[in-house]
């Protein structure tokens, strides 16, 4: 198994995590902020993602080209992403370039200038990104599904924001939002590779201990889900269908059972939805179930892309498999195969220092502690058939299903009558 996770809390509250992986030549570093699209008011929607773009556009001593050139000069892979609850900036390079990696990454994180001219240029890029999303129905359906399920709560909005907001944000709005959200007690720096913890601290401490705590962080509101049918008309060849069920938080003790149940339902090629809808009937090329879990709530969803005439049949098949999970215990073979699938995926991912960097940070942000791979394996192994059937009974209930369809005009009443669990 891997070496233990080392953790140090700096004087200002920033948490530094590291895991030594002695057989690796590369080092993966991520600066994580426990702030994302969920922490935006309606008028601020899109600011977290806008900041992610602007971080790479220049500092007091580096232009955007300097940043790109210096990362390329060490063969570094760098990027960033924004989620509902977190934002991450990361770099991976050969460990001999560790000093340079930290120098550039800390500079763009701490010293970005947010020039108005750069905001104007990046505004156009993000507007293009919104257009690309809306032109991809297999991605856009998930935005519509979230909006239908969470409604006015920030979890129901696109991470990219709206065209109106993106067109209105200026450098001051971006800078003020950055100062409000990027507070030291919400920052985790996660490092995985062939490095020593003291080596990391010696590089990070002088830079990051200068960050001061600012005003209070905006309170997150736990949303109430809405269970309704929502049809979005668009002249496309196929219907994109999402069903949403209230799930459980990522912090729940039932999360291992939840993961197993999702995998059985539609998480891989041997799953029930894949076999019933694609393999046996040929109704869809793409069909799967998925989990969107947050710190205080979550969603279990099912997606399929089908011909319009097959929409009702497909929805019926998805609901049929959900009902079966409530009343029939899974077989020993199916449960054991699913456990092995998840355990193997976890072990294989542990061979990547990128994945370990992410895993350490997410455990710290979501649970406030490190969770060993062995403990996760033991928890997965302990899930029983009764655990799955009890969770299915808890979650799969008539009147607690949201249906979202993107495609040609459909009769909403037709589908309302189908949503029975």
For the annotated catalytic residues, the residue numbers are 52
Compute the distance between CA of residue 54 and CA of residue 421 in angstroms, rounded to an integer.
46
Pick from 131, 44, 421, 85: nearest CA to 265: 421
* Cα–Cα distance, 29 to 78 (Å, whole number): 10
Reference 54, options 208, 178, 214; nearest CA is 178
Task: Give the Cα separation of 290 and 266 in Å (integer).
Answer: 7
- CB < 8 Å & 24+ apart, contacts of 97-101: 98/27, 98/195, 98/199, 98/203, 99/203, 100/70, 100/74, 101/27, 101/29, 101/74, 101/76
Q: Which two tokens stand for residue 294?
A: 């947050």
How far is it, in rounded angstroms, from Cα 280 to Cα 299?
Answer: 27
Length of the chain: 421
């Amino acid at each position: 198994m891997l070496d233990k996770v080392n953790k140090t809390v700096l004087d200002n509250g920033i948490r530094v995590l590291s895991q030594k992986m002695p057989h690796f030549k590369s080092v993966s570093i991520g600066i994580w902020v426990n702030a994302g699209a969920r922490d935006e008011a309606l008028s601020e929607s899109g600011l977290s993602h806008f900041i992610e773009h602007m971080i790479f556009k220049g500092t007091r001593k580096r232009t955007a080209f300097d940043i790109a050139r210096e990362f390329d000069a060490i063969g570094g892979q760098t990027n960033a992403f924004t989620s509902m609850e977190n934002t991450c900036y990361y770099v991976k390079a050969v460990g001999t370039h560790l000093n340079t990696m930290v120098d550039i990454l800390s500079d763009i994180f701490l010293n970005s200038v947010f020039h108005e001219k750069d905001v104007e240029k990046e505004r156009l890029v993000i507007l293009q990104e919104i257009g690309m999303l809306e032109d991809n129905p297999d991605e856009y359906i998930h935005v519509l599904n979230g909006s239908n399920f969470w409604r006015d709560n920030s979890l129901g909005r696109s991470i990219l924001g709206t065209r109106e907001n993106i067109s209105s944000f200026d450098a001051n709005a971006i800078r003020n939002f950055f100062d409000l959200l990027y507070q030291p007690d919400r920052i985790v720096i996660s490092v995985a590779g062939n490095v020593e913890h003291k080596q990391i601290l010696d590089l990070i401490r002088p830079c990051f201990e200068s960050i001061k705590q600012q005003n209070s962080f905006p309170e997150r509101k736990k949303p109430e889900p809405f269970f309704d049918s929502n049809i979005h008309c668009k002249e496309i060849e196929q219907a994109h269908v999402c069903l949403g069920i209230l799930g459980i938080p990522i912090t729940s003790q039932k999360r291992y059972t939840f993961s197993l149940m999702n995998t059985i339902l539609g998480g891989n090629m041997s799953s029930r939805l894949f076999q019933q809808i694609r393999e046996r009937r040929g109704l869809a090329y793409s069909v799967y179930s998925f989990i969107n879990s947050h710190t205080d709530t979550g969603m279990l969803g099912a997606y399929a892309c089908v011909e319009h005439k097959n929409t009702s049949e497909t929805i019926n098949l998805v609901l049929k498999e959900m009902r079966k999970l409530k009343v029939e215990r899974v077989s020993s073979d199916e449960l054991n195969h699913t456990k092995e699938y998840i355990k193997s995926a976890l072990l294989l991912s542990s061979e990547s220092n990128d994945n370990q960097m992410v895993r350490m940070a997410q455990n710290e942000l979501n649970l406030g502690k490190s969770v060993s791979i062995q403990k996760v394996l033991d928890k997965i192994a302990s899930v029983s058939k009764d655990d799955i059937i009890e969770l299915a009974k808890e979650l799969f209930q008539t009147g607690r299903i949201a249906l979202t369809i993107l495609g040609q005009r459909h009769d909403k009443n037709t589908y309302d009558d189908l949503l029975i669990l």
